[in-house]
Amino acid sequence: MNKIADAFAASPNGKAFIPFITAGDPTIAVTEQLVKAMARAGADLIELGVPFSDPTAEGPVIQDANIRALKNAVTTDDVFDMVGRLRAEGCVVPLVIMTYANVVFSYGIERFAAREREVGLAGVILPDVPHEEKAEFAEVFAAQGLDVVSLIAPTSHERIREIAADAQGFVYIVSSLGVTGVRSEITSDIPGMVALIRDANPGIPCAVGFGISTPKQAAKMAAASDGAIVGSAIVRMIGAQGEACVEPVTAYVREMAAAVHAV
């Protein structure tokens, strides 16, 4: 089980809890521990950020995590090697890379996709690639049996339908305009966006990210869609706890996953 579709199909109620962490923060070894611990705690799919110097979709919390990982000289190959070790150890939770176009271009699109397949990744999320340029990546990844996940932010009905129509894996619904970060309230019309996505692509799951930090928020977003994505709240905990982060992050993920699975 390492496909994106498995994350939703295998969850207790068809709802997926999806945590994000930056690989290499605080170290690759701790990231490896975190993936295994979060999977045991109920994470259905895990996003792994590849460290990058200019993560334009990210707020200060995840930007700082990228800086810390880059100071550790963590490379794209380090992330791939870590995933390979996880698979060799029997970790089956679906894993998706979240990174930026320049990282993939620099590595080589074909080489990046082939390496993802080789180590057992399920796909990639590229927040800086607009829908009009997605095909350049999606065709290469599809040849390897992998998905390029589409992001949809609050926009026109026509634009939502257009992006959703050829979405793969799942649709990442961006709850609010702006960069990632914890928000006290999410005011976008998530049910309306989900309805448009399902109309355009009936089989595609939808999960909501950007701003979710509490079990109540996660449950509300999962009730309106097919899952909840949490990044900044977890990455902030990792930044504060350093190498002692595994236990508190595990407890937090267990609580958040339980909230999503209880919807």
Parse the chain into domains and list their residue ranges.
4-149+211-261
How far is the C-alpha of 165 from the C-alpha of 218, rounded, in Å? 26
- pLDDT higher than threshold 90 for residue 54: no
Strands 46-49 and 16-22: parallel
Q: Are 236 and 218 contacting, i.e. CB atoms less than 8 angstroms apart?
A: no
> If you classify domain 4-149+211-261 with CATH, what class do you get?
alpha beta
Q: In the chain, what percentage of residues exceed pLDDT 70?
A: 94
What is the DSSP secondary structure assignment for residue 148, as one 8-state letter? E
pLDDT in tens, 55-66: 776 778 999 999
**How remote is the C-alpha of 20 from its chain's centroid?**
5
Please state the pTM of the whole predicted model. Answer: 0.94
| pLDDT at residue 181 greater than cutoff 70 | no
**What integer is the mean pLDDT of 84-94?**
97
CA–CA dist 236, 217 (Å, integer):
17
Query: How large is the average pLDDT for residues 246-254?
Result: 98
Residue 177 in this model has a pLDDT that exceeds 80: no
Q: At what angle do helices 215-224 and 190-200 cross, to 10 degrees?
A: 40
For 192, left (φ over 0), alpha (ψ -120 to 50), or beta? alpha
Across residues 247-263, what is the average pLDDT?
98
Tell whether the model's pLDDT for residue 176 goes beyond 80: no
Q: Is residue 173 scored above 70 in pLDDT?
A: yes
- Segment 74-83 mean pLDDT: 98
Given this model, what pLDDT does residue 122 score?
Answer: 97
DSSP string, 83-119: HHHHHHTT--S-EEEE--HHHHHHH-HHHHHHHHHHH
Are the C-beta atoms of residues 226 and 191 closer than 8 Å to each other?
A: no
Burial class (CB in 10 A: 0-12, 13-18, 19+), 6: middle
Span 94-107, mean pLDDT? Answer: 96
pLDDT confidence of 2, banded at 50, 70, 90? low
The predicted pLDDT at position 5 comes to 84
Average of per-residue pLDDT across 144-152: 96
Pair 256, 248: CB distance under 8 Å: no
Instruction: List pLDDT tens digits, range 202-216.
Output: 999 999 998 899 999
